[in-house]
Amino acid sequence: MPTFSNRLGKLSPYPFVEISRIIAEKRAAGADVVTFGIGDPDIPTPEPIIDRLLTASQDPPNHRYPETDGLPEMRRAIAHWYRQRFDVDLDPDTEVLPLIGAKEGIGHAAFCFLDPGDVALVPDPAYPVYAVGTMFAGAASHVMPLHHRNGWLPEYDAIPDDIARAAKVMWLNYPNNPTSAVASQEDLDTALRYCREHDIAMLHDAAYSEVGYDGYRAGSIMQIDGAKDISLEFHSLSKTYNMTGWRMGMAVGNADMIKALFQIKANLDSGIPQAIQEMSIAALTGPQDCIDDNVTTYTWRRDRVIQALTRMGLPVDVPRASLYVWAPVPAGFTSAEFAARLLEETDIVVTPGSSYGQYGEGYIRLSLTTPDERVETGCQRLESWTIPSPRS
């Protein structure tokens, strides 16, 4: 019988693996499940991007091992996109690193900065990979609670002095998953100043920067003076160009930090398939109208879901960005109990806020990546459902 590592024993089932299992079980039993679960765009990757993939797949050099740091044109396309979108200059050879999706880079980043016994400052609720990467590196997460009363931003004054001295990295993510909160440039500047003062590397995950509503456009941490001295920003093509299935992301920022991530990756993976890089170049340098088209679609869904939740008596903040609606559960329910009752009684899947950490308790997250007609079906079901009493 093999024996497994202690770290394996510390892992909870990844939330969406568990949810996928439940959905498959329900569907096998004949249920018409509507899922507001994972944030995975249902809208196809735009055709010109797919066309580039098809051509690139037939080019024999693309059948061979890619370089860890990607094609030079790939890095230049990322720098070009940052210049167009954020007016930020990046050196494509030293300040840019393509990733096999942001998740891969986020997980591996922990190995660049953390040794056993070190401390990472990790928000809660949050995308689970920040804490999991920290644990894999043998380090400890110090939780920075995010609260509604603070606009889901950390309270830096609440971090104890000894933790601030010990911390090696701080993770932030705006626009935020799961709360859909946004951070102003001033908020990001406050975080950067705190990190600089305490010699902490700042790691900002901006995977949702291109999903902004009602004219909102997220900024980049790289627009702030001095950010490049101490920070990396992680990005993803997944949500921007409906490319979750193709696996393409990037890290940009401080050249030494980029080099460290490159070194870790060079020892663990063999880069991104070149045909995927070519389609990603097409995405980043081609027409950007799919971004507005996506936002138009998500805006209708956001408004429809908010209407349904409001009719149910659940008071929700209207998201200015991200793919999610973050809604409080009725009094007396835990997040998991409410999500379970919804699934049991309405065949609707939502994610319990507690999957994102203890401070996500009391909320559910609804993803807007479900086709319009399914959103409508789900919303009608929600509106005609009488919220039951909690089971004691």
Ligand X SMILES: Cc1ncc(COP(=O)(O)O)c(C=O)c1O
Q: Between 134 and 177, name the residue whose CB sits nearer to ligand X.
A: 177
Residues in CB range of 295: below 8 A, 6 or more apart:
211, 212, 213
Kindly tell me which residue out of 103, 265, 320, 365 binds ligand X, with binding defined by CB under 6 A.
103
Pairing verdict, β 96-99 and 249-253: antiparallel
In this structure, are residues 159 and 142 in contact, taking their beta carbons and an 8 Å threshold?
yes
Kindly tell me which residue out of 187, 205, 210, 347 binds ligand X, with binding defined by CB under 6 A.
205
Contact flag: residue 127 with ligand X (CB under 6 A): yes
The site map against ligand X for 219-258 (x = CB under 6 A) is -----------------x-x-----x----x---------
**According to DSSP H, which parts of the chain are helical?**
6-9, 15-28, 47-57, 72-86, 102-113, 129-136, 161-166, 185-197, 227-230, 255-268, 274-285, 289-311, 335-346, 372-384
The site map against ligand X for 160-179 (x = CB under 6 A) is -------------x---x--
In this structure, are residues 172 and 183 in contact, taking their beta carbons and an 8 Å threshold?
yes
Kindly tell me which residue out of 79, 88, 207, 364 binds ligand X, with binding defined by CB under 6 A.
207
Q: Between 137 and 166, name the residue whose CB sits nearer to ligand X.
A: 137
The site map against ligand X for 253-292 (x = CB under 6 A) is ----------------------------------------
End-to-end CA distance of the chain: 42
Amino acid identity of residue 133, one-letter, is G
Q: What is the DSSP string of 164-220?
A: HHHEEEEEEESS-TTT-----HHHHHHHHHHHHHTT-EEEEE-TTTT-B-TT-----
In this structure, are residues 172 and 231 in contact, taking their beta carbons and an 8 Å threshold?
no
Q: Between 77 and 308, name the residue whose CB sits nearer to ligand X.
A: 77
Residue 203 Cβ vs ligand X, minimum distance, rounded to whole Å: 11
Kindly tell me which residue out of 101, 133, 271, 378 binds ligand X, with binding defined by CB under 6 A.
101
Contact flag: residue 212 with ligand X (CB under 6 A): no
Q: In the window 322-351, what residues touch ligand X (CB under 6 A)?
A: none
Residue 280 Cβ vs ligand X, minimum distance, rounded to whole Å: 11
Q: Among all chains, which residue has been given the structure tokens 């004054």?
A: 157
Q: Between 208 and 333, name the residue whose CB sits nearer to ligand X.
A: 208
Question: Considering CB under 6 A, how many residues would be counted as binding ligand X?
Answer: 13
Round to whole Å and give the CA distance between 3 and 356. Answer: 29
In this structure, are residues 327 and 362 in contact, taking their beta carbons and an 8 Å threshold?
no
Q: Among all chains, which residue has been given the structure tokens 């997250």?
A: 365
State the DSSP code for 259.
H
Residue 205 Cβ vs ligand X, minimum distance, rounded to whole Å: 5
Residue 266 Cβ vs ligand X, minimum distance, rounded to whole Å: 19
Contact flag: residue 36 with ligand X (CB under 6 A): no
Q: Between 111 and 333, name the residue whose CB sits nearer to ligand X.
A: 111
Stretch that binds ligand X, among 6-14, 100-108, 289-297, 346-354 (CB under 6 A): 100-108
Q: In the window 38-97, what residues touch ligand X (CB under 6 A)?
A: 39
Query: Can you give the binding site for ligand X, defined by CB under 6 A?
Result: 39, 101-103, 127, 173, 177, 205, 207, 236, 238, 244, 249
